[in-house]
Chains A and B, each alone.
Chain A
Amino acid sequence: MLNPNEPIQRRALQRQLHTFVVYAEDKPGVLSRITSLFRRRAYNIGSMTAGHTDVPGVSRLTVVLESDDAEARLIEANLYKLVNVLKVEDLTHVPAMKRDLALIKVKANAEARPQVMQMIEVFRARIIDVAPESLVLEITGTGDKIDGLLEILSPFGIIEMVRTGGVAMTRGSKATTVHPHFVHALVPQDENS
């Protein structure tokens, strides 16, 4: 349910990128359960990353997808129905940092190289491999920033590129924001704090 005091109609209809952080038990098949849920309910995942956390046995996923607020609450509710999911945060309306990482292999012969290096500097990317005819760059930043670098590099010729998809974290010292419907949601570390 949406908070009755909020102007639900306007916000609910607005589609935007929602970023969810999902804590799940680190068990075989959990990723498949989560992707299967998105497939079955016809939610279109923009990106999804998964990795360990500081708590043994707990993994953390960042899922980015386009939805409106009403659908976002349903996505959250459905994620909670997965028995292995511990906690879900929707970071869309809270101050949060979002980062993507990309490796880019770009053509850069002796002639083009100085120009490429200049761009790299502006975007604070790093060179991690050098070959006679190409460079491999590493860049972290928001999705927009990476898009920007790619656009500028494309005239030189991008040979290969890989992006991790977004990861995200709230700002400030508080760790989480949990929807009031799901107040029981906890990861083991919460109980101690």
Chain B
Amino acid sequence: MKRTGAQLIWEVLTREGVDTVFGYPGGAILPAYDALVGYENIHHVLTRHEQGASHAADGYARASGKVGVAIATSGPGATNLVTGIATANMDSSPIVCITGQVGSAVIGKDAFQECDITGITQPVTKHNYLVTRAEDIVRVLREAFYVARSGRPGPVLVDITKDAQNQEVEFIWNEAPIALPGYRPDLSALPEEFDRAMQLLSESKRPIILAGQGIIMSGAEEELRKLVEAAHVPVALTLLGLGGLPDGHACNIGMMGMHGEAWVNTAIQEADLLIALGMRFDDRVTGDLATYAQNAKKIHVDIDPAEIDKNVKVDVGIVGDLKTVIATFNERLKPQKREAWAKYIDESRGEAEQHDILQAADEGTLYAAHVIDELRKLTRDDSIIVTDVGQHQMWEAQYYAHNQPRTLITSGGLGTMGFALPAAIGAKMACPEKEVWVIAGDGGFQMTACELQTCAQEGLDLNIAVINNGYLGMVRQWQEMFYDKRYSETPISSPDFVKLAEAHGLTGARVETVQEVAPAVQASQGNARTILTEFRVVPEDAVYPMVPSGKALDKMIRRPRKEPAIRQDT
């Protein structure tokens, strides 16, 4: 059976179970787009920018656990993918990006729209390939999917020359086995390390589990729940770990880190044992390393051996898949109770809650917290929230309650503004039956707002909440706290969001008071198409608590009890 290289691309995607790809055509990828017409099983979503395509593939992957696919042409098409690739790389999201490349005969000649995309993406991909012959396409694409989803997942880019897409070759599926002699995603733990870990746990009086995204990627939620219940250990979550243990679970004490809960950070500093599961001790969760959990022994479990001892030197490092490792813990575990420790954490939680803005007297001022709190009440446990980057992202993490895995999709490691809308498009394509919310700031939303038209063309039902504070709020907050309130280039104007939505053929709404929030959320839920609701919130609120960058984790700036000024009308 003869096939062109271009057809082979879609043959492999079909066999990999791909139903949706996100992309943008152009010269060097034209043969692939031409061949796509013959593959009705694959739905192509035309994003309005290739960055949107790579974020959408990422959102698709995070919502579904399957590999997301983005496709673009050479040169500018390929470079536009890069931000999305780097975002996926930092958060270990499995995506495969396929780019067209100029003909192999002119590579290196600065041909029109030539660009060394494998060179550019080398540091931000798990692996990448340049394919110049049609006969390599099947093997390479199969390898790309396998590498992207196995071990510690990540992005893989496959750059395919135009002549390779045009060549005809014999296609026999079984004759393209993957050939990855150096790739070993299945490292397994050493037995001695389990013995040491179990011993440390049984000796500990004040242990804490630090659970990260690894729990969700490994599908280890059930194992984690059994572990914490049997060993009676409080669990702190990273931003990307939210949903790994239900928010309502008695052992879940909340989010850690720069904007984590005060009692969580304090408890980490006072613990005698940290058990880090699928998290990587990012500087945003540790604060100053020299003063981090100084009296705690540390156990670190990760699938990536290069994470062990990278930022925090540990006493026991276990390399392996969390689901299997925690299951082994559970087999060996002797049930324990640690009432005093649990009670201690509960008490400090009670104290901290008095700082909360939701406890403050209602002066009619609309805070972002009110919006998130209402969303928490009115959405379902399986609703997916996709956030952008900034203050609203942290407020979402603080005030929403994630009770299921894969219900929060957010750019953690790279902190990419503009992520939310395109990633939500990907999430909705992956889970069409689920309610999907975008929560974005007025700044970040404007970075990829062109994707509103993608929602329109696809007839998608997204719920978009733009938290408009008139500022690049998170940066303004740093200027307020650390740069003497010099608001250099952080005030930002916005288009009329209602008209913007309408211009795209969508619905727009605006909310300015606390009373309007719940009806607006319900109206959005009732709308069968994409609807954008702008929430005009107080301009100069800050995210509390805050561990200043590089400071000890328990040296948090707390919310002043005196209320901030009522918002001035702009």
Contact = CB atoms under 8 A, between A and B. Distances in A.
Given A1-B316, A4-B316, A83-B180, A77 B122 contact: no
Given A4-B196, A80-B305, A181 B182 contact: no
A109 interface: no
A30 to B, nearest CB: 10
A146 interface: no
A182 B187 contact: yes
A40 B90 CA distance: 14
A74 B317 CA distance: 13
Given A33-B122, A40-B123, A1 B181 contact: no
A82 interface: yes
Interface in B70-127: 118-119, 122-123, 126-127
A183 B309 CA distance: 19
B270 interface: no
B62 to A, nearest CB: 21
Given A1-B193, A1-B314, A184-B187, A73 B309 contact: yes
Given A4-B315, A181-B187, A181-B305, A83 B123 contact: no
Q: Which bracket fits the contact residues of A?
A: 20 to 34
A17 B310 CA distance: 20
A8 B368 CA distance: 49
B306 A77 contact: yes
Contacts of A70: 309, 313
Interface string A60-104: 000000000010011001101111111100000000000000000
Contacts of A2: 309
B562 interface: no
Interface in A133-164: none
A14 to B, nearest CB: 15
Nearest to B319: A181
Contacts of A114: none
A94 B25 CA distance: 55
Interface string A29-50: 1001100100010000000000
Nearest to A1: B317
B308 interface: yes
Contact of A84 (B182, B184, B190): B182
Interface in B300-347: 300, 304-306, 308-310, 313-319
A1 B309 contact: yes
Contact of B306 (A29, A78, A185, A186): A78
B184 A185 contact: yes
Interface in B279-312: 300, 304-306, 308-310
A145 to B, nearest CB: 35
Contact of B190 (A12, A86, A180): A180
Contacts of A183: 187
A184 B193 CA distance: 18
A29 B116 CA distance: 12
Contacts, number: 74
Given A32-B122, A77-B306, A184 B184 contact: yes
Interface string B166-209: 00000000000000111110110010010010000000000000
B114 to A, nearest CB: 17
Q: Which bracket fits the contact residues of B?
A: 20 to 34
A183 B320 CA distance: 13
Contacts of A4: 196, 315-316
Given A81-B306, A184-B187, A86 B182 contact: yes
A83 B154 CA distance: 12
Contacts of A187: 181
Given A1-B193, A1-B317, A188 B306 contact: no
Given A4-B315, A74-B306, A180-B190, A32 B119 contact: yes
Contacts of A86: 181-182
A87 B182 CA distance: 7
B472 interface: no
A78 B147 CA distance: 16
Contacts of A40: 123
Contacts of B304: 77, 81
A181 B302 CA distance: 12
Nearest to A37: B123
A185 B126 CA distance: 18
Contact of A74 (B310, B314, B316): B310
Contacts of B316: 1, 4
A182 B305 CA distance: 9
A36 B308 CA distance: 21
Contacts of B300: 1
Contacts of B122: 29, 32-33, 36
Nearest to B306: A77
A26 to B, nearest CB: 12
Contacts of A185: 184
Contact of B182 (A12, A29, A36, A82): A82
Given A25-B182, A180-B190, A184-B184, A1 B119 contact: no
A108 interface: no
A40 B89 CA distance: 14
Nearest to B151: A81
Interface in A107-148: none
Contacts of A25: 181-182
Nearest to B314: A1
A77 B319 CA distance: 11
A29 B181 contact: no
Given A29-B118, A180-B190, A74 B182 contact: no
A4 B127 CA distance: 33
A70 B310 CA distance: 9
A24 interface: yes
Nearest to B124: A40
Contacts of A36: 122-123
B196 to A, nearest CB: 6
A164 to B, nearest CB: 25
Contacts of B119: 32
Contact of B184 (A73, A78, A80): A80
Given A80-B184, A81-B306, A84-B182, 4 more contacts: A77-B308, A83-B180, A85-B182, A181-B187
- Ranked nearest first, the 10 interchain pairs of A and B with the lowest CB-CB distance are A1-B317, A77-B306, A184-B184, A77-B305, A86-B182, A83-B127, A83-B183, A78-B306, A181-B305, A40-B123
Interface of A: 1-2, 4, 12, 24-25, 28-29, 32-33, 36, 40, 70, 73-74, 77-78, 80-87, 180-188
Interface of B: 118-119, 122-123, 126-127, 130, 147, 180-184, 186-187, 190, 193, 196, 300, 304-306, 308-310, 313-319
6 contacts: A1-B193, A4-B196, A4-B316, A32-B122, A36-B122, A83-B126
